Amino acid sequence: MGLIQTIIVVFGVIAIAYAAAHFKLLDERVGDGLSDFVFVIAAPLLLFRTMVTADFHGTAPWSLWTAYFIGVIVAWAASDLAIKLFFGRDNRAGVVAGVSGAFSNLVFLGMPLMLGVFGQNGFAILSLIVAVHMPVMMAASITLHELAMRRDGVFKGESHWVAVIGSFFNSLLRNPFVLGILAGWIWRLLGLRMPDAADALIETLSGVAGPVALFAMGMGLKKFGVSGNIAAAVLMSAIKLVLMPAVVLGAAWLIGLPPFTAKIAVVAAALPAGVNSYLIATRFGTGQALASNSMVMATALSALTLTFWVSVATRIFG
Q: SS3 for 191?
A: coil
Provide the pLDDT for residue 160. 61
Q: Give per-residue pLDDT as tens, 81-138.
A: 999 999 998 888 899 999 999 999 998 999 999 999 999 999 999 999 998 998 889 8
For residue 112, the one-letter residue type is: P
Provide the pLDDT for residue 53. 87
Query: CA of 6: how far to CAs of 57, 109, 119, 211, 314, in Å?
Result: 27, 12, 11, 12, 15
Count the neighbouring beta carbons within 10 Å of the beta carbon of residue 226. 16
Examine the pLDDT at 158 and tell me if it is beyond 60: no
Provide the pLDDT for residue 183. 94
Examine the pLDDT at 239 and tell me if it is beyond 80: yes
* Pairs from 183-189 (Cβ < 8 Å, separation ≥ 24): 183/48, 183/51, 184/47, 184/48, 184/49, 184/50, 184/51, 184/52, 185/51, 187/48, 187/51, 187/52, 188/51, 188/52
Q: Give per-residue pLDDT as tens, 2-35.
A: 788 999 999 999 999 999 999 999 998 999 999 9
Q: Give per-residue pLDDT as tens, 245-269.
A: 999 999 999 999 999 999 999 999 9
Provide the pLDDT for residue 121. 92
